């Protein structure tokens, strides 16, 4: 079975690939209307998910908790829908999806802050 850091980094890699494809599509069509949705997909999906994975790899004790698994699913849900939600809001539809994604993303970051604080002695120099 793959470890939690793997799943964070794997998901982040998929979001990064999707973000690159989306950026290429915007460039090819010269339509950058959804550029901020694309940027949020890359930041929350690729960068943040990957940072979470690297942290859990560096502090394995933090990854072996139920809270870490909840963290993964909240972060994944937020990252999966934030680009879509912001895109829908930009296009003039209801911003409910963006609001939900933002709340999930903030909840995931709160869990991460708590996890880092709770495991502050666990990050050692290799």
Can you give the pLDDT at residue 126? 52
Rounded mean pLDDT, 59-76: 95
C-alpha–C-alpha distance, residues 58 and 27, integer Å: 37
The whole-chain average pLDDT of the chain stands at 92
With cut-offs at 50, 70 and 90, classify the pLDDT of residue 31.
confident
Can you give the pLDDT at residue 120? 86
Can you give the pLDDT at residue 107? 98
Residues 79 and 57 sit within 8 Å (Cβ to Cβ): no
The number of domains in the chain is: 1
How far from 55 is each of 119, 122, 123, CA to CA, in Å?
11, 10, 9
Q: Is residue 124 part of a domain?
A: no
The 8-class DSSP code of residue 44 comes to I
Q: Is residue 80 part of a domain?
A: yes
C-alpha–C-alpha distance, residues 13 and 65, integer Å: 23
Q: Is residue 47 part of a domain?
A: yes
Residue pLDDT, tens place only, 88-111: 999 988 889 999 999 999 999 999
Domain with 61 in it = 4-118
Q: Is residue 43 part of a domain?
A: yes
Q: Is residue 125 part of a domain?
A: no
Q: Is residue 123 part of a domain?
A: no
Rounded mean pLDDT, 6-30: 93
Can you give the pLDDT at residue 106? 98
For the ranges 24-28, 36-40, 64-68, 121-125, the lowest mean pLDDT is seen at 121-125
Q: Is residue 20 part of a domain?
A: yes
Residue 72 has pLDDT above 80, yes or no: yes
Its pTM stands at 0.89
Can you give the pLDDT at residue 2? 78
Can you give the pLDDT at residue 122? 72
Q: Is residue 126 part of a domain?
A: no
């Amino acid at each position: 079975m793959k470890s939690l850091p793997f799943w964070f980094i794997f998901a982040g890699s998929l979001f990064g690939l999707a973000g690159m494809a989306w950026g290429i599509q915007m460039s090819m069509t010269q339509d950058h209307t959804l550029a901020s949705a694309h940027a949020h997909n890359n930041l929350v999906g690729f960068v943040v998910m990957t940072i979470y994975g690297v942290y859990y790899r560096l502090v394995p004790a933090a990854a072996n908790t139920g809270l870490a698994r909840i963290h993964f699913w909240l972060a994944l849900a937020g990252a999966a829908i934030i680009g879509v939600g912001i895109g829908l809001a930009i296009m003039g539809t209801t911003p409910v999806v963006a609001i939900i994604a933002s709340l999930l993303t903030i909840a995931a970051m709160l869990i991460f802050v708590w996890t880092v604080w709770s495991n502050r002695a666990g990050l050692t120099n290799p």
